[in-house]
Amino acid sequence: MLRRIALACCLVAVACKSSSNAPSENNTKKPTEGSGAAPQLQRGGVVRLPSNEPKYLNPILEPRFTVPNVLIYEGLLGVDTKGEIVPRLAKSATMSDDGRTITFKLREDVKWHDGEKFTAADVAFTFNAIDQSDNPVWKGYMAPVESLTTPDDRTVVVTYTGAYALAEASWTAPILPKHKFAPANDGDPIDLTTSPANQEPVGTGPFKYARWEKGKRIYLEANKDWWHKRPHLDGVSCEFGIDDADLIPALQRGDIDWARIGDVKPWLEQAQSAEFLEEFATTEVVESRIRLIAWNSQRAPLDDKRVRKALTLALDRGRVISDVLYGQAQAIATPIFPTTFAYDPSIAPLPFDLEAARKLLDEAVPAKDGKRFKIALIAPPSLRSPAADEMAAIFKRDLHSLGIDLEWSYATDYNDRINKRDYDAVYFGWLPDTPDPDPSALLHSSSAQTGNNYAVYSNAEVDKLVGDGRTVIDRAKRKEVYEKLARLLVEENPYTPLFAPYGHYAWSNRLHGVTPRDVATQAPLPGIAGWWVEKK
């Protein structure tokens, strides 16, 4: 017997906070307005947004979050403004009672940006392309699929090897157009990397590719035939090369119209000024975003869990949150997003305790003339900021007092070194790929050599718990699995969870209909397509 699923929410709503002091979107500060009537919706205009410059305009290949990819492409399923999974290119999704089979009925009114009709063949092609790709994330989500069939152009039936808790979330994967990427002969291997469509993409989303000025911007224009409804805007200009430190000045110059302000000090000192608030709306929220240090557990002495625990105990994360981030972050105990049902707030982060750290290190790596070992830590240049530099200085002093030399560098060859696992440690930020708390990409041994398991970590018990978290359908039982996993990780410490930074957002008072989640890995409906520009 089949049942129509109400596609349950996998992320708690961002407005549901872990403490009464945490920020809420309800505290949005809007520009001072006159006593006249609210402005009426106006169509047209272009919005300028900061973005990473992609290597590929293809979300199956592109490893980083980029604004163009999430506006061009869509999945069978998506999320709404509350973070709940909802149909998108599929008009319905029906799951069997045993959790093994999903039947998607596709919308009849979807066309690719070039006018071709979207069909089940595109879904089947995307599944095969992911299976043949080197993308560890989407490939991992699709691994439990036993078969995918297309009984007709509007139906896709996916059967799994067993019950799969991530079945719905995995189909938020972006769908590619078969007619742009398929090899000349059916059955030939799919090579996405060489396709011209990676530079001039065709999607189904609310905005379509117009031009790419390398090193400067990508311009997208409104998809007037979008199945949902025509965007209010005429276009979106995705601007490259704007550093965190320059976001507020860029807003004030009019170079961009919206920004996530990652550097806390200018947020508190500049973005809260009366002058700024006359021109811009601001808000801050708790969101699914965490910062971590991964310890390469294949290198001595980091292969010893006593050393990894000592390192976690020796880093004064509380001071970083209070003194560097001015309290604008939440302490976390594990590499699980604190906004999800899987996070257990009763499990406290390990405290800052140099003496406990020293005791563990004396057992594992006794000091010689006050020296123990060096750690070469790399970080992506995109995360460099005054706050990150201050944090690095604090951590260097913490570890130096224990005879450990921390070498912290922003590596220009970061991606290459990540792929080769050429580092002792990595400082990085983590965002969700799907609206599900599954942490397997960071923790499962299958991702240790070629995936996102930057700790190069392998533990049979962790593998089992991560696997159970993917196969247990019942939410309460899944939560119990992740609680067991969290307690184990607090002892193993393949990662030192640093904090979950609050999201700080500012946008021009000309923009209306804006919420922070509109620019995200999982953009909701209508998202940016619902924004409009007031012509003043």
- Dump pLDDT digits (tens) for 161-198: 999 999 999 999 999 999 999 988 877 888 899 999 99
pLDDT of residue 481: 97
- Digit-coded pLDDT (tens) for 456-500: 999 999 999 999 999 999 999 999 999 999 999 999 999 999 999
Question: For a pLDDT cut of 70, what percent of the chain falls above it?
Answer: 93
**How is domain 290-501 classified at the CATH fold level?**
Dipeptide-binding Protein; domain 3 (3.10.105)
* Sign of the C-alpha dihedral computed for residues 128, 129, 133 and 137 taken in this order: negative
Contact between residue 264 and residue 390 where contact means Cβ atoms under 8 Å apart: no
Write the CA distances from 404 to 352, 400, 408, 456, integer angstroms.
Answer: 16, 5, 12, 21
How many Å apart are CA 363 and CA 361, to the nearest integer?
5
Beta strands in 337-435 (DSSP E): 373-379, 404-410, 425-430
* Tokens at 60, concatenated: 């199956």
What confidence tens digit (pLDDT) does each residue in 21-36 have? Answer: 566 555 567 654 444 5
pLDDT tens figures, 405-444: 999 999 999 999 999 999 999 999 998 888 899 999 999 9
Q: What predicted TM-score, i.e. pTM, was given to this entire model?
A: 0.83
Q: How far apart are CA 284 and CA 508, in angstroms?
A: 15
Q: What is the residue-wise DSSP string for 293-324?
A: EEE-TTSTTTTSHHHHHHHHHHS-HHHIIIII
Domain ranges of the chain: 290-501
**How many helices (DSSP H) and strands (DSSP E) are in the chain?**
16, 22
Residue 275 has pLDDT above 80, yes or no: yes
> Contact 59/174 with Cβ under 8 angstroms?
yes
Contact indicator for 489, 193 with CB cutoff of 8 Å: no
Question: In which residue are the tokens 């993409």 written?
Answer: 201
